[in-house]
Structure 1
Amino acid sequence: MLTEAGQQYLEHGSQPLEQPRGENTAPPPRAKIQSSDMAKIENSGTKAALPLPVQRTRPLPRKKAKTVTEQLLEELAEAGGRIVKREASGRETEKWPIRVAAARRSGKIPATKELHAGWCNDGYEIRLVDTPAWRFAVLPPVPVPARLTTPHPVVKALQAHPQPMALTKAVQGRAFRLIHALLTATQKLGYASAFGTADSAPAPHRRRNGPPHFTITAQGQRCDFLILQEQDRTEHIPTKKELSDAEKHSWVRIPRYDTSPAERLRICVGGGLRHRAGEWADMAACPLEDQLAEIVQEVGLRGEAAERKRLADLEAAREKRLQWEAAMRRAKIDFAEAARVQHLEAQERAWRRATGLAEYIGALRIHAQTLATGPERDGAEAWIAWAADHVERLNPLNGTLRLPEIPEPRASDLQPFLHGWNPYGPGY
């Protein structure tokens, strides 16, 4: 008789697990086998392959999809650090500035790399470049004096005004000390400074358009400085008069916010090629005193960039003049060659004309011999003699054959041979 363990072995190919005593557990469901089939299995004495029960398996974990930033960085690495996005759909291309900004915030860009992007003629250009060395430079702090005993001359000029830079009394002293520290630090580096204006301050939305309060010049690059006082904004509570006027007149607009001068300052720097930033402001964790070193470095970086540009412009101008001079030499050679060709073609035309006239004079001589002796024949022979002499002078083969003398070309003579260059100089 087939035991329960044998039945388990035939059905599942393994012995049943021993159940702990005291536990009332139901046996696992078994596949039903017909009694006639079981009898055949027992009588045959051989093991028959029985269908195994379907076992449930856990699905394989899905591979995490790559983010847009990861895809962008991989694409840049495969393209050598530069790609240009030019999708057929304009809406798709417009998404890339947002994606680049998200990639910069993601923290996945290596510390030694920077992500640059901008529009170009071909589309939206994205570049992964090496971080410049100046970002890793250790900047010495700029000391700010607790009080001004001997202020810088520019600071003295600012102090001479009743309300310099449109600052309130609460922040004027600190602003003077910051300016003094900044000017003193840049003066030690050899930079020049000058007073600008102290009478005005531009509106907050036009910070970079106002006249500078002072300037610092590094390697020929002038940087314009503005010292602005930040404004605190609070919700405006309409007055009864404002509400009444707005109800009576449709053009009356009640302001949403009220502004009041804060004790925070902002330094704006204009002019030259921006590197770190164009504005520095007081922050709770980092006041302007701790940011002066960056401003000093920014002035130096703009000066170095201006010097590099100046040298590059000089080299470009020198190279352009060399190209112009080479073009002028080629133009003079081409002009001389064209003059020789023109002289040769003129000789060829004169020779053909002389040859034709010589044949005609030969015919005249034959005709003159048919004339009777007398005035008519004498006149014909005189005419033939003059014509023969003229043909003799006209034929270039009767003269000295040599290279023609080339006249000194004028500017207009060289213009057709300069291929776009101006004969008066490379700067025209």
Structure 2
Amino acid sequence: MVSTATPLNGRQREVLDWIADGCPPRDWPNSTYKTTAIALQNRRLVRITKRGGWSAVLTETGEYYRAHGAFPAVTKQVRRRPATASSADGERQTARAVPSPRVLPEKPDTTVVSASVEAGDPAIERQDNEELAAARQLAADVEAASGELRRGATGRKRYLSRLVDLVNANQFAGARRRLMVANTDTDGEVIFTFITAPKWLSTWPRDVAAGDRIPRWHPVVASVRTEKRLNCTAQVKPRALRILHTFGTEADARGHRTVLPRREVDRHGYQRTYEHGDLKITIRDYCYSVSVIQQHDRVAHVPTLKEIEEQKRYSWNRIPKWDSVPNDELGISVGLLEGRDFQQFNDNSKRRIVVEDLLPEAMQWLEQDADRRDAAKEAARLRQIAEAERQREAARLAEIQHKENLKAEELRKQASQWAEVGAIRRYLVAMAARVQVIQDEEQRTAAIEWLEWCRAHVERLDPLTGVPGPPRNRYMTWEERMDLTNAARNSMP
């Protein structure tokens, strides 16, 4: 938190003077002056009321600050210990050192303000006005060049980038167009082009941010506000709620479903279901998380007396060097609810970018992510179909190859039997010649019987005795099916 004794910056002093003048009509560039007024109210300088419309008045502290340029002096009280019984005179008291409150350095106001706002220094004001005029002329030159302008940028790229930021921050190119700058193939040359912001069906985000009040909040955002789910300071909470309202309203206008993330606890107080984010937007079959995040600054840590004493007592203690302090900048994080693919869009005070101008891009990112996932799902389905078709074709080729293998195996078997029958018949001719010369009648009779059986058996072995033909089909074994299917898949293109 910023100390209430820290001097106001230029933006806050300007809003304070405007309130002191009675809030006269003024053409503010946006509604961030209300956010600055809330910051002044937190520092007890103004009092804001919304009865009968938005209005603000100075408090006594605000009038004092406007007159003297500083806050009223506050007298600090020193706590003393009561006198102990061992005191000789009963009047000696020991003063207790009270550590002074740690004052964090005030950050300059990060809201996007037109460069024409008085900066106090005439030189700075003149420079800002010159840059504004140059940015307006740059937008006119790009428009005259039909939306595409090439210019030399040697030594001027940073200056030209700042002009582009001014064009977009002040909407010199129009509310729904942005000026972009990119390098070209030619060294030292850049190209300026206009791009149209993504489509937006509901009220334009800047118009919602600049409105005095929202007649009817989005029901889910109203629940977020009622349940106090936003994790940000009170100074930026109104703007954060408007960002969520704008985003939720646009999601409904596009036909998406916006609900509150589930956060259920059991009877013992433990989280049973915890869905991250401030909004849950369903686009077709995908649930996305939308969160508004407050940015932080890293400031030097001022050690406290307790930290110093503990470090003296315990040498291993380390005092942190930095503190993370929330500032006035916001960001919006969108991504898949149960995934790690997130995209964040942030304020950028240096480039004068506010997150309201990036909401169309955030919505476009969500829809494109859903389209990418649908395309990936369709591609996976087509790959699955192609894989099934490839598997069926491989099985068909394996069946054909199995039949061919059976025929080849039968052919080799028949050829082997035919060669064997020929050799046996030649042997039987020699056997018949030997039988003729046997003298013993008993031996000769036995040899003749054996020869007759052999001749009959040869006739049974001869594959050409009957009509040659293909073998009978049989089912493939599991090993044959796997081997033939894999071979068929490898041979396919």
The TM tier, using the shorter chain, reads 0.5 to 0.7
2:224 corresponds to: 158
Map 1:89-238 to 2 at 5 A.
108=189, 136-140=196-200, 141-142=204-205, 144=208, 146-147=213-214, 149-153=216-220, 155=221, 157-159=223-225, 161=227, 163-197=228-262, 211-238=276-303
Distance 2:460 2:190 in 1: 88
Code of the residue aligned with 2:464 in structure 1: it is L
Q: Residues 148, 339 of structure 1: CA spacing in aligned structure 2 closer, same or farther, 3 A cutoff?
A: farther
Aligned-partner SS, 2:464: helix
Measure the CA separation in 2 of the matches of 1:183 and 1:411.
58
CA deviations on 1:42-100 (whole Å, 9 max, x unpaired) are: xxxxxxxxxxxxxxxxxxxxxxxxx9xxxxxxxxxxxxxxxxxxxxxxxxxxxxxxxxx
Give the secondary-structure state (helix, strand or coil) at the position aligned to 1:415: helix
Report what 1:72 is aligned to: none
Quick one: which amino acid aligns to residue 190 of structure 1? G
What percentage of aligned pairs have identical amino acids? 23
User: 2:409 aligned with 1:342, yes or no?
Assistant: yes
C-alpha RMSD of the superposition: 3.8
Asked which structure has the greater CA Rg, the reply is 1
Structure 1 residues 148, 347: CA separation in 2 closer, same or farther (over 3 Å shift)?
Answer: farther
Cα drift, residue 182 of structure 1: 1.2
Which amino acid is the alignment partner of residue 298 of structure 1? W
Displacement, 1:138? Answer: 4.8
The gaps in structure 2 that reach 5 residues or longer are 1-153, 155-181, 265-274
Q: Report the counterpart of residue 44 of structure 1 in structure 2.
A: none
Q: Secondary structure at the match of 1:397?
A: coil
Aligned 8 A contact 1:197 1:212 in 2: no
**Per-residue deviation, 1:321:** 2.7
SS of the counterpart of 2:483? helix
Deviation at 1:279, TM superposition (A): 0.4
Aligned residue for 1:418, secondary structure, equals: helix
Give CA-to-partner distance per residue, 1:237-289, whole Å, 9 cap, x none.
Answer: 112332333344332111112233334322212239x9x98101233433322
One-letter code aligned to 1:151: H
- Asked whether the equivalents of residues 233 and 257 of structure 1 are also in contact (C-alpha less than 8 Å), the reply is yes
CA distance in 2, matches of 1:158, 1:313: 38
Cα 1:218–1:379 change in 2 (3 A) is same
Counterpart residue number, 2:470: 403
Task: Tell me which amino acid in the other structure corresponds to 2:216.
Answer: T
Distance 1:292 1:394, change over 3 A: same
Is 1:322 aligned with 2:389? yes
1:158 corresponds to which letter in structure 2? Answer: V
Alignment length (residue pairs): 288
**Which 5+ residue runs of structure 1 have no aligned equivalent?**
1-66, 68-100, 113-132, 200-209, 424-428
8 Å contact kept, 2:259–2:279: yes
Distance verdict in 2 for CA 1:226–1:354, change over 3 Å: farther
Is the 1:225–1:270 contact (alpha carbons within 8 Å) kept by the matching residues of 2?
yes
The offset of 1:345, in angstroms, is 1.0
- Shift of the 339–245 alpha-carbon distance from structure 1 to 2, 3 Å rule, reads same
Distance verdict in 2 for CA 1:248–1:150, change over 3 Å: closer
Q: Is the 8 A contact 2:258 2:282 kept in 1?
A: yes
1:306 aligns with 2:373: yes
TM-score when normalising by structure 1: 0.57
Deviations 1:288-322 (A, max 9, x none): 22221111111111122222222222223333333
- Pick closer, same or farther for the CA change 1:271–1:109 going to 2, 3 Å: farther
- Tell me which moved more, 347-356 or 372-381: 372-381
Deviation at 1:344, TM superposition (A): 0.8
CA distance in 2, matches of 1:107, 1:222: 45
- Normalization by structure 2: what TM-score? 0.50
Per the alignment, residue 290 of structure 1 pairs with 357
Q: Whole-Å Cα distance in 2 between the matches of residues 366 and 182 of structure 1? A: 111
Higher RCO, 1 vs 2 (CA within 8 Å, ≥6 residues apart): 2
CA contact (8 A) 2:198 2:364 kept: no
Choose which of 293, 315, 318 in structure 2 pairs with 1:250: 315
Structure-1 residue corresponding to 2:144 = none
Structure 1: how far apart are the matches of 2:214 and 2:243? 11
* Corresponding position: 1:377 with 2:437: no
Displacement, 1:137? Answer: 5.0
